Chains A and B, each alone.
Chain A
Amino acid sequence: MTAIPVRRPPLAAAVATVRAWTRDARVRRAVLEALTLGLVAAFVLYVATRAREASSLNFDFMTERAGFGIGDQFLTQTDGGSTRWQAYVAGIMNTLRITVFGILLSVGMGLSIGVARLSSNWLAARLAFLFVETIRNTPLLVFVVFCYTAVVLRLPRIQESADVFGIAYFSNRAIALPWLRPETGAGTFALALVVGAVAAWGAWKALRRHEVTTGQPAYPWRAALALFAAVALVAFVATGTPLRLDIPEAGRFSYSGGMRLSPEFVGLLLALSLFNAAFVAEIARGAIESVPRGEREAAAALGMSSWQQLSLIVLPQALRAMLPPLATQCQNLAKMSSVAVVIAFPDLMTVGGTIINNSGEAIPIFILMMLTYFALNLGIAFLLVGPHWRFNWSRGRRA
């Protein structure tokens, strides 16, 4: 047989074309992109199918009777007969309560400790350092369990509760503090306060502009505060004492009146805010140190007092550097408040877990919890960093 050379021009051409494609950066890119997209889509599809198999993925069960009560509630009244949605909302309110108070306490403490760490006072600086180092090297949960079981639950029994001047009571069943109770007319009064605040802000702005343009002192802070106080006073009298000081009274088995806090809430709040304060302190210290030394020296050379240097020159600039990490830290606090489940404080996480247990619907609840925490995070970011964007644009340093 004689070998006849086979001519396969079409195939060879096809091979050559494919070869050329495999070396064409655009084609490779497109193929790889498509492959990744396909993989991601396959994964999402897989998760979705498995979720569908495991659960009906509807939220009808949330309108059914909850079947469990919540001991510690804030602005909500739910019991076993309420729907699961209502119980869930009570959980959200508790998470919000712990987050808001936790942020207020920890930012307050953290800022003072951060400033103390930079203080010229040796003792203050050392103690602040010790506080930060102790807390940052200990797990949060150890603090939570310690504050709850070793501090709050070791308070005296309610029959022997410790009191402070007869207006606040501490016991291992509840802690009662004096509080302002809204009476009739409180809504009008609150509205008047908002109006007063807006007016004061406007006055501050106008006087400040006057001060800046003319160089004459116009005392914007004092004027604004005086205006606000005047509006508040007039409104308070006009609406006929809308707020009444509510002092708790100790009974044999419970307290009445005042603000009564559960041991779980107090333990968790104490632990979370102490823990978070250490991180806020480090953020504050970093921000203050980021302000160039020369700024302060220049202020001193202009004859500003130490307090003026701090409040007018250093802190405004430090605040700007501080807000983004502070927002992240506050988000951390909101997320970490979910450790409440360990000491059975009925927050979002605990209530969600209870609903899973008594309805058996795990996946819808997880979807709900994820969305709720995302919303909470977004809210915190918006509240803290939102003003920062504006702040940065209008007063950015042009150096």
Chain B
Amino acid sequence: MTVAGLPLKVDRTPREALEDAWHWARQRLFSSPGNVVVSALLLAILGWAAFSFARWMFTDADWGVVRANRRLLLVGRFPLGEEWRIWPAVYSIIVLLGWTWGAWGRISRTVAATLVLMGALVLPTLAGWSGLRVVAPALALAVLAYFLAHRLAESPRIRGKARVGSVVGWFMALPLALILLQVRGGVEPALWGGLYLNFVVASGAIIGALPLGIGLALARTSSFRALRVSATVYVEVMRGLPLPVMLTLAWLALRAFLPSWGGLDEVALVYRVTIAFALFTAAFIAEAVRGGLNSIPRGQREAASALGLKWWQLTAYVTMPQAVRNSLPALAGEFIGLFMTTTLIAVVGLTDMLQAARATTEQPAFFGRQKEVLLFVGMLFWVTAFALSRLSARLERALAGKGTRRV
């Protein structure tokens, strides 16, 4: 067993353990006079920060603001009795997380511990024990899906199917959220809010941005000059623009550019903002996919041409599958980033989770509770992004070495 690179005996006396610890500290903390100063300074700062945080946590902090406003934070002003539109999407996402993780590799102990710890901190605050009853089955299903997928992935024959299943699952689950909001009368978009709004905007944008981004990447690597130049101009313009400007454009000026047939120019603000996110994200996805396309050896294209494959066959069967696979980690990064930047919809006055959190501290009962509610919101985003980023690191490792073989 080793800790931070230093061998430690497993069965040792307390005295030996103390000596080991001292030895370790000498090497990693106090190896030179400079290091002694730095370590002492950092320890002092750390101690002070931990002490003030603990003092605030146990004397001043009041998490009632989160508990009392949990509905507002999660779904905003979503009408009562319409929750059945939300739960299937939430359930399928949670279960898919488990399945994807299981299919692509083992969850590491540190990550599992972090997630469990964060879950233990977040869930009771948010749901209380009564709310936990609704979430617990989803979590149990997720764990089940993880083990099942992990078991299936052990056999090389089924592994590919389990993995493809996870990717397909995600592309089925994301539209599900949008569809459920429309069917049987639907819920007016102005009433969508909270974390669910972040999620819906992010999934809508992904669905729109992925095909557009792939098309742009193909156009940018095409041999047709007009295509190449216009795709390049589009991508560079989007990358040079601040997202808030794009969103304000969608808010105040997009209507003037939408065709009037079918009432398309009267489309709700949420949709316009989602379009803006999709147009913006497409440029970044195009860059990721282009990187993937460029990493494919030239010989593959030449071989495919020599076999008489047409352009679309070459793209659909040879280059694109490899390009998407090579760029999956980068794409995952873009998607995580997109989910976090959906908080910017505050710019156009929509109430996502962050703005809902800001609104809670205007209630007289929770005046001045910004720290609690913002820490909570930050932590929720953090857990999601952390889980997804570890998942993408997993993907990267699972895919490493694939598609790079030369003939």
Contacts and interface: CB of A to CB of B under 8 A. Distances in A.
B358 interface: yes
14 contacts: A36-B224, A50-B256, A51-B256, A120-B28, A137-B381, A138-B382, A139-B378, A139-B381, A140-B340, A142-B374, A146-B378, A336-B242, A349-B242, A366-B253
A54 B255 CA distance: 10
Contacts of A341: 244, 248, 347
B370 interface: yes
Interface SS of chain B: helix, strand, loop or mixed?
A: helix
B343 A120 contact: no
Contact of A150 (B230, B347, B374): B374
Interface in A279-293: none
A149 B252 contact: no
A363 B256 contact: yes
A139 B340 contact: yes
Nearest to B43: A123
Interface string B30-43: 01000100110011
**A interface majority secondary structure:** helix
Nearest 10 CB-CB pairs, A to B?
A: A54-B256, A122-B28, A139-B340, A335-B242, A137-B385, A150-B370, A36-B226, A141-B343, A338-B242, A362-B253
A241 B177 CA distance: 68
B338 to A, nearest CB: 11
Nearest to A370: B241
A137 B357 CA distance: 19
A47 B341 CA distance: 27
Contacts of A391: none
A279 B334 CA distance: 15
Interface string B323-366: 00000000000000000110110110000001001100100000
Interface in A317-349: 331, 335-336, 338-339, 341-342, 349
A60 interface: no
B200 to A, nearest CB: 16
Contacts of B256: 50-51, 53-55, 362-363
A233 interface: no
A353 B248 contact: yes
A357 to B, nearest CB: 9
B340 A37 contact: no
B225 interface: yes
B308 interface: no
Interface residues of B, number: 50
Contacts of B253: 54, 362-363, 366
B389 interface: yes
A349 B249 CA distance: 11
Given A121-B29, A362-B252, A154 B368 contact: yes
Contact of B370 (A55, A140, A154, A338): A154
Given A121-B28, A336-B242, A373-B241, A47 B257 contact: yes
Nearest to A340: B244
B170 interface: no
Interface string B254-285: 00110000000000000000000000000000
B240 interface: yes
A366 B245 CA distance: 8
A339 B244 contact: yes
Given A134-B382, A349-B244, A373-B242, A122 B29 contact: yes
Contacts of B39: 121, 123-124
Contacts of B4: 122
A134 B114 CA distance: 13
B340 A138 contact: yes
B115 interface: no
Contacts of B241: 335, 370, 373
A33 interface: yes
A386 B243 CA distance: 26
A120 to B, nearest CB: 7
Interface in A1-49: 29, 32-33, 36-37, 40, 47
B344 A141 contact: yes
B9 interface: no
Contacts of B371: 146, 150, 154
A164 to B, nearest CB: 17
Contacts of B43: 123
Contacts of B245: 338, 349, 366, 369-370, 373
A163 to B, nearest CB: 20
A127 interface: yes
B226 A141 contact: no
Given A145-B357, A362-B252, A366-B248, 13 more contacts: A33-B225, A33-B226, A54-B253, A123-B28, A123-B39, A124-B42, A133-B386, A139-B381, A153-B370, A154-B371, A331-B240, A338-B242, A341-B244
Interface string B203-222: 00000000000000000000
Interface in A80-94: none
Contacts of A137: 381-382, 385-386, 389
